[in-house]
Homo-oligomer: A and B are copies of this chain.
Amino acid sequence: MASPHQTRMRAVTLQDIADRCGVTKMTVSRALHGDTRNVSMETSARIKAVALELGYDPSFNHAARRLALRKCGQDVVNHLVAMFFPSGFQQWPYYTTIFGGMLEVFMPEKFSLLTHYTSFAERASENALPPVFMRGDVDGAIISRSSAHTQWICERLRATAFAERPIVSVITPVEGCSAVLIEAELSGYLAANHLLDLGHRHIIHMEAANPPHDQRMCGICRAYEERGLDPHAHLVYAQWFFDDENATVEAMDAALTAYPRSTAIIAANDRTAVLARDLAHRRGMRVPDDLSLVGFDDVTPMPDALGHNMLTTVRLPLQEVGQQAARLLLQHIRGHRRDIEQITLPVNLIERGSTAPPRV
């Protein structure tokens, strides 16, 4: 259809089309915008045909459009979105799975996704955000961080030309933003309920102090209480360190030593469960015979001797989280949704070999 782009020297402009059609560029602008009330069907068709023939690309002169539209304070869709993830996120399947889900939705829609991570060091500095944000090139953002961080990022964004554009939060809710969450309380319940069903009572729970882990904690307690058991008499809390595996392992080790009656560990995530298994082996314990393990996420396998994943875990639909967050953001950007929305996605327990009844 389109003629070979013989000359890439100069971009095709509205004026070029207007010249060929014997009209003014204003009419061309109207026709190409699908203005049926102010342009005759006939000329409109002619203009569109010429535009196609010349290979007019509206996105090419985006800069001019934005400049013109600024006069009346209108926003243009730039087809550019950003995600704010913790530094080092690319190493964690947890985040890359969400990332992958987002890409799956954005790419077919021709939205480009840029990555911005924030370390604590950067947060401390008074650095401005990169130019793309300052100049308002970014249509929307997806954000996933601890609450202290999200607050800071939102403030930074709002202070740029990003202004009041949509932000969607994943996993952790952020005030005033749409969010895609998971059933955090239920995830804790499912893990604990499974272990209690098997007969475990004394359980070590690795957790972080902030959401969604604190909700997970509530679910764990609920499972105990449903059985008339006092969670505080049976549960042991061991701290989980977000970015320090050694510290996490030491905390587990200390807990196992201090509470030798423990027969199971609810780990902060799959990766931590694998660390727990390794620790157990070093202590001469076998999984699941001496110690049952439950993970969260279902993104990191715990391979047995034959390479099969043996980790009982609470699966979080992380890929779908990414997809839904992307869809939600697109709805906001395109103006199809103005109210903020919170989507909560279901979790489910996947029973594999790392849990078994305790040996009495």
Contact = CB atoms under 8 A, between A and B. Distances in A.
Contacts of A147: none
Interface in A81-116: 82, 88, 90-91, 93, 96-97, 99-100, 103, 107, 110-116
A89 to B, nearest CB: 9
Contacts of A122: 107
A110 B160 CA distance: 15
B134 A60 contact: yes
A79 B111 CA distance: 18
Contacts of A136: 60
Contact of A63 (B63, B91, B306): B63
A8 B130 contact: no
A246 interface: no
A351 to B, nearest CB: 22
B103 A99 contact: no
Given A60-B134, A63-B63, A63-B67, A275 B307 contact: yes
Nearest to A92: B96
A132 interface: yes
Oligomer copy total? 2
A80 interface: yes
A137 interface: yes
A122 B91 CA distance: 27
Contact of A96 (B61, B91, B163): B91
A135 interface: yes
B116 A115 contact: no
A305 to B, nearest CB: 6
A274 B307 contact: yes
Interface string A53-91: 000010111111011001000000011101000001011
B103 A130 contact: no
A303 B282 CA distance: 13
Given A63-B135, A80-B137, 17 more contacts: A61-B135, A63-B63, A63-B66, A64-B67, A82-B112, A90-B99, A91-B96, A91-B100, A107-B117, A112-B114, A112-B132, A113-B114, A115-B115, A274-B307, A279-B307, A281-B305, A282-B307
